A = this chain, B = another copy of it.
Amino acid sequence: MERIPILKLGDFLLVTIQVDMHDQLAITLQDDLTTQIAKHASRGVLIDISSLEIVDSFIGRMLANIAAMSKVLDAQTVLTGMQPAVAITLVELGMSLSGIKTALNVERGMEILSQFTDPGYEPQDADGSQE
């Protein structure tokens, strides 16, 4: 069971992290995910961490890496289901998870991603905040 499953949901890929991450598992996940993005021409990646009670710097770095790799492959990454305690810890540790969008749950994450697959949507980065 040394592989985190990647589920295809339309244009998006869903990854649910439930187990303790270690080096090899993180590398396997990155390999699998980039392969799947290329194979299915996916536009977005949802990473659900609702069962993680601890997000340390290793996981934070892994998530940032995945988001960066996905971005190069033209797929947006959204982190979903973060527990409140994890958010508190991340801020206290000074980890900003820059470059990763977050959403309360998978459904909201899919809404965010849908904006990017909408043909009418104009990509605007960081400073183009429109409510």
The chain A residues found within 8 Å of chain B, CB to CB, are 1, 3-5, 7-10, 14, 16, 18-20, 48, 50-53, 81, 105-107, 110
A53 contact from B1, B18, B81, Cβ within 8 A: B1
Nearest CB in chain B: distance from A129 CB, A = 17
- Is B107 touching A8 in the complex (CB atoms < 8 A)? yes
Copies of this protein in the complex: 2
Give A74 Cβ to nearest chain B Cβ, in Å.
21
CA distance in complex: A57, B8 (Å): 28
Q: Chain B contacts of A5 at CB under 8 A?
A: 16, 18, 48, 50-51, 81
Q: How far is the CB of A11 from chain B (nearest CB, A)?
A: 11
Known: A1-B20, A10-B107, A16-B16. 16 other contacts (CB 8 A): A1-B18, A1-B19, A1-B53, A3-B51, A4-B18, A5-B50, A5-B51, A5-B81, A7-B14, A8-B106, A8-B107, A9-B9, A9-B110, A14-B106, A16-B18, A19-B19
